[in-house]
């Protein structure tokens, strides 16, 4: 209706007022509850243009609209607002139109350009955790929302399968894995431990042993024992120690950290990890074999977790492939003056003109850094998909600086598409117990969390006692559906930009703004609809304000999908659905449906209910959440 009103005003504005206008001057807002009306036209931009009274402008436009649009029954002007009253027939026609459209609110698939959405992108040195859950659910949901807006979407991830962190797990497994009675080191097969968890265990083991070595090194330095360390290290340690006496407590803490970093970087374990990385990049057969074996364990573990999450990917990239292209692009850029080389052989780019600093792109030993491989990955993707319009990177906000640097490097290398790349920066997930730390092994494991919420869903569902006639498979499927629905909804209902506190017990509550609350409403409607045989097209009947309110909510759905796509925000879909469900539940409690004696009114209410369930299904599908037929 807004579109129709806007078009007719713009086309006829000159005949009414003697001036032509642009459509951006026609602005709408929701009618305030204290006034009669279904839609409000904001008159202030027009009043300013015409330099006449609000009453005169509103009266002329209102009269014209009422005489030319049959769906407009009445209007009133309050200050600078034209409140428009729509006919009951308009609401019935709208509901019939919604009923006819199976994919209501969705734009025709693949009718727009191609967008790649990157999400998950884990490291192969640890299992997926709570932070990965928000990342995966957000990236998957944004992909589905963009599809619903008509875009062709490629869901992808870049697996961080190389680098010093990977080598840490490899070194630790080599050095610290116990041998079984057959003389075998630990593997997923002989321990029964999921592959990603086993490798993650050795990442933590590396840090534990490294911290012991760091403490030993610092203790030796304090006692004056510098055996095995060169003059540069001794000089730097001495300088740091002398500076302590000149600083306050806060600065002393920073100096202690610098001493710890000095010991860390010169420890035997870190040397071994760096040497392993160098050998890997030089294709050392023994190192490469170990790397392939341990990564294979991790991939098998990831696949199990992704299946539980209900997410998938169209294309997977691996840093071990793309970092080589990244290095080649750096060498090319070095020739063209985009980068420069320091005396130690390291390669940098100066971004100070953009308010950033100098950024390392190749280490002095020739090994690549993260941004180098990300450059290679981006270029590789545009070569693979020649119709690719833009890439959306779903990565936490601690990487904001990284993506500013990445996009600028790509632009300086001459890739104009870099201006369209977008970092979907989201806030971290906090816990009541504090921040997760993977080095210390204090992460919230994704598999364990999924298992917990499903078990919680099982408990609350069994307590309600409506599943007695289901078999065990049906029950387990329902428990999984409710638990995962609650978890996904909880992590997606918050604006992506905001940091959030996660409480798993709150996620599966049956009341309030939760996934199970919405799922239960869908199941309730479906249960009611199973009790009737069929529906007819709605005839023109008198409708109540509660019914009109629900139709209004349903009519918002296409614009909510559009806005969610423009803002990459599943939270808009989640909170819209919650408001729709609240309105419907109020209606359901107050207005008779199955016992309504007037068959035409009863039919209208059943069709209304059916389409609320349809929109719940379509909306929750965009969040990756399934809704049950029974619950």
pLDDT tens per residue, range 546-560: 999 999 999 999 999
pLDDT confidence of 247, banded at 50, 70, 90? Answer: low
Fold of 2-86: Gyrase A; domain 2 (3.30.1360)
Tokens of 7: 């078009």
Tokens of 628: 């049950």
Spatial neighbors of 235 by CB under 8 A, at least 6 apart, are none
DSSP output for 11-60: HHHHHHHS----GGG-EEEPPPTTS--SEEEE-HHHHHHHTS-HHHHHHH
Q: Residue range 427-447: average pLDDT?
A: 68
pLDDT(302) > 90: yes
Tokens of 532: 């009737």
Q: Within 13 Å of residue 29, how many CA atoms lie on the same side as its CB?
A: 11
Q: CA triplet 454, 459, 461: central angle to 5 degrees? A: 90
pLDDT(621) > 60: yes
pLDDT at 158: 95
Average pLDDT of the chain to the nearest whole number: 92
Q: Calculate what percentage of the chain has a pLDDT beyond 70.
A: 97
Helices 268-281, 195-222: crossing angle, 10 deg rounding: 130
How many Å apart are CA 121 and CA 158, to the nearest integer?
5
Fold of 446-622: Isoleucyl-tRNA Synthetase; Domain 1 (1.10.730)
pLDDT at 506: 83
Q: Residue range 505-513: average pLDDT?
A: 85
- The CATH class, in words, for 158-229+266-430 is alpha beta
pLDDT tens per residue, range 144-184: 999 999 999 999 999 999 888 999 999 999 999 999 999 99
pLDDT confidence of 246, banded at 50, 70, 90? Answer: low
pLDDT tens per residue, range 41-82: 999 999 999 999 999 999 999 999 999 999 999 999 999 999
pLDDT at 162: 87
Residue 401 near residue 374, CB atoms below 8 Å: no
pLDDT confidence of 539, banded at 50, 70, 90? Answer: confident
pLDDT(611) > 50: yes
Residue 624 near residue 630, CB atoms below 8 Å: no
How many Å apart are CA 626 and CA 623, to the nearest integer?
9
Helices 599-622, 515-529: crossing angle, 10 deg rounding: 140
pLDDT at 433: 64
What pTM was estimated for this model as a whole? 0.89
pLDDT at 514: 94
How many Å apart are CA 298 and CA 480, to the nearest integer?
24
pLDDT at 439: 45
Tokens of 498: 């905001």
pLDDT confidence of 492, banded at 50, 70, 90? Answer: very high
CATH 3.30.1360.70 range(s) for the chain read 2-86
Other C-beta atoms within 10 Å of 440: how many? 11
pLDDT at 252: 82
Residue 10 near residue 30, CB atoms below 8 Å: no
pLDDT at 249: 61
pLDDT at 223: 93
Helices 545-567, 570-590: crossing angle, 10 deg rounding: 170
pLDDT confidence of 441, banded at 50, 70, 90? Answer: very low
pLDDT confidence of 538, banded at 50, 70, 90? Answer: confident
Nearest to 604 by CA among 557, 542, 554, 545: 542
pLDDT(434) > 60: no
Residue 329 near residue 383, CB atoms below 8 Å: no
CATH 3.40.50.620 range(s) for the chain read 158-229+266-430
CB burial of 511-521 (b: ≥16 within 10 Å; e: otherwise) equals eebbbbbbbbb
CATH 1.10.730.10 range(s) for the chain read 446-622
How many Å apart are CA 125 and CA 198, to the nearest integer?
9
Q: CA triplet 383, 385, 388: central angle to 5 degrees? A: 110
Least confident span in 315-319, 510-514, 550-554: 510-514
Which residues are registered as beta bridge partners of 39?
84
Q: Within 13 Å of residue 33, how many CA atoms lie on the same side as its CB?
A: 2
Q: CA triplet 327, 328, 330: central angle to 5 degrees? A: 65
Q: Residue range 324-343: average pLDDT?
A: 94
pLDDT(536) > 90: no
Residue 625 near residue 484, CB atoms below 8 Å: yes
pLDDT confidence of 250, banded at 50, 70, 90? Answer: low
pLDDT(426) > 70: yes
How many Å apart are CA 622 and CA 558, to the nearest integer?
13
pLDDT at 503: 81
Q: Residue range 445-472: average pLDDT?
A: 87
By the 10 Å C-beta count (0-12 exposed, 13-18 middle, 19+ buried), 298 is classed as buried
pLDDT(389) > 60: yes
pLDDT confidence of 245, banded at 50, 70, 90? Answer: low
């Amino acid at each position: 209706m807004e579109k129709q009103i806007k078009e007719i005003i713009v086309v006829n504005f000159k005949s009414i007022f003697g001036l032509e206008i642009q459509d951006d001057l026609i602005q709408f807002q929701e009618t305030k509850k204290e006034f009669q009306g279904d839609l409000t036209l904001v008159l202030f931009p027009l009043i300013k243009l015409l330099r006449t009274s609000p009453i005169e402008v509103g009266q002329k436009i209102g009269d014209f609209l009422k005489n030319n649009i049959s769906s407009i029954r009445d209007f009133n002007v309050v200050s600078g607002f034209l409140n428009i009253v729509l006919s009951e027939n308009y609401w019935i026609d709208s509901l019939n139109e919604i009923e006819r459209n199976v994919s209501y609110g969705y734009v025709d698939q693949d009718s727009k350009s191609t967008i790649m959405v990157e999400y998950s992108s884990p490291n192969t040195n640890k299992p997926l955790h709570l932070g990965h859950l928000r990342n995966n659910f957000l990236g998957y949901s944004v992909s589905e929302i963009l599809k619903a807006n008509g875009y062709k979407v490629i869901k992808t991830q870049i697996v961080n399968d190389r680098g010093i962190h990977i080598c840490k797990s490899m070194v630790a497994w080599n050095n610290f894995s116990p041998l079984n009675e057959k003389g075998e080191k630990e593997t997923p097969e002989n321990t029964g431990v999921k592959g990603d968890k086993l490798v993650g265990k050795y990442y933590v083991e590396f840090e534990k042993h490294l911290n012991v070595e760091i403490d030993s090194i610092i203790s030796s330095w304090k006692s004056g024992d510098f055996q095995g360390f060169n003059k540069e290290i001794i000089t730097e340690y001495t300088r740091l120690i002398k500076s302590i006496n000149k600083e306050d407590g806060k600065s002393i803490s920073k100096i202690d950290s610098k001493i710890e970093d000095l010991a860390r970087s010169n420890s035997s374990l870190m040397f071994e990890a760096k040497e392993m990385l160098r050998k890997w990049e030089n294709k050392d057969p023994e190192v490469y074999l170990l790397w392939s074996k341990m990564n294979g364990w991790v991939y098998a573990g990831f696949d199990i977790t992704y299946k539980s999450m209900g997410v998938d990917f169209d294309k997977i990239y691996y840093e071990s492939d793309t970092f080589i292209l990244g290095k080649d692009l750096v060498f090319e850029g070095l020739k063209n003056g985009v980068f420069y080389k320091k005396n130690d052989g390291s390669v940098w780019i100066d971004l100070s003109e953009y308010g950033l600093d100098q950024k390392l792109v190749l280490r002095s030993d020739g090994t690549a850094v993260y941004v180098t491989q990300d450059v290679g990955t981006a270029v590789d993707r545009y070569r693979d998909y020649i119709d690719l319009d833009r890439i959306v990177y779903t990565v936490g906000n601690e990487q904001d600086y990284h993506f500013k640097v990445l996009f600028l490097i790509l632009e300086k290398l001459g890739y104009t598409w870099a201006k369209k790349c977008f970092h979907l920066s989201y806030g971290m997930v906090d816990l009541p117990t504090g921040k997760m730390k993977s080095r210390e092994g204090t992460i919230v494991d994704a598999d364990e969390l999924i298992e917990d919420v499903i078990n919680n869903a099982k408990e609350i569902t069994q307590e309600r006692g409506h599943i007695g006639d289901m078999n065990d498979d049906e029950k387990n499927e329902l428990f999984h559906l409710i638990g995962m629905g609650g978890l996904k909804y909880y992590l997606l209902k918050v604006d992506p930009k905001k940091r959030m506190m996660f409480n798993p017990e709150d996620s599966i509550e049956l009341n309030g703004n939760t996934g199970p609350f919405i799922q239960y409403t869908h199941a309730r409607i479906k249960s009611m609809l199973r009790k009737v045989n069929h529906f007819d097209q709605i005839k023109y009947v008198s409708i109540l304000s509660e019914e009109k309110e629900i139709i209004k909510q349903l009519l918002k759905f296409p614009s909510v999908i559009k806005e969610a796509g423009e803002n990459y925000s599943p939270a808009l879909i989640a909170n819209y659905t919650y408001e729709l469900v609240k309105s419907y539940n109020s209606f359901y409690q107050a207005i008779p449906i199955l016992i309504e004696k007037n068959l035409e009114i009863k039919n209208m209410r059943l069709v209304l209910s059916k389409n609320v369930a349809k929109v719940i299904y379509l909306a929750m599908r965009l969040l990756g959440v399934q809704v049950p037929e029974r619950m």
